């Protein structure tokens, strides 16, 4: 199947509400305003995917400062509306996000949490060289199972 025609944009004040609506439609977690402000501040690493001017997917990240003027990029969400799954939109969003992160010499690592029973997501991220890390018990307060696995990807800057 050929790639669907998709246009991309970074998260901006003007499209932040669209991201909130998309996340509510896809995820069982209601993200607070503070998270959306962090996503807005992340710059080009957070990306939106549009098909015919309709938001169909997004990757939303926050940057976490660490000692030595370095940062880690936490992937808060990566989601695509159900009718658009299987069309490489999620892959393209993650590729764009990682590419943008590699442009910043200070961002050394990308990481995220995935529910331990979400084998599809774990397989997906492993395709992009994310390593399976530690399991955090009771990470999710309102999900069953509540445990999460940490997936990590070391970033090498692109010249």
Kindly list the catalytic residues.
Answer: 74, 113
Cα(127)–Cα(49) distance, rounded to whole angstroms?
20
Helices (H), the chain: 16-26, 33-41, 89-102, 119-127
Cα(115)–Cα(117) distance, rounded to whole angstroms?
6
Cα(12)–Cα(104) distance, rounded to whole angstroms?
19
For residue 130, what is the DSSP state?
Answer: P
* Peptide bond connecting 24 to the previous residue in cis, omega within 30 degrees of 0: no
Angle between helix axes 89-102 and 119-127 (nearest 10 degrees) is 50
Closest CA to 94 of 115, 109, 79, 83: 79
């Amino acid at each position: 199947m050929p790639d669907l025609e998709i246009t991309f944009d970074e998260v901006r004040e003007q499209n932040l509400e669209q991201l909130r609506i998309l996340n509510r439609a896809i995820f069982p977690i209601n993200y607070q305003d503070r998270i959306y402000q962090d996503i807005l501040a992340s710059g080009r690493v957070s990306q939106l995917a549009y098909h015919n001017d309709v938001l169909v997917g997004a990757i939303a990240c926050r940057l976490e400062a660490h000692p030595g003027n370095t940062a880690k990029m936490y992937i808060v969400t990566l989601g695509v509306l159900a009718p658009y799954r299987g069309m490489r939109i999620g892959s393209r969003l993650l590729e764009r996000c990682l590419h943008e992160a590699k442009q910043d010499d200070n961002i050394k690592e990308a990481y995220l949490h995935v529910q331990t029973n979400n084998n599809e997501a774990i397989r997906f991220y492993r395709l992009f060289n994310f390593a399976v890390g530690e399991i955090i018990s009771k990470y999710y307060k309102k999900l069953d199972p509540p445990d999460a696995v940490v997936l990590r990807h070391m970033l090498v800057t692109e010249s």
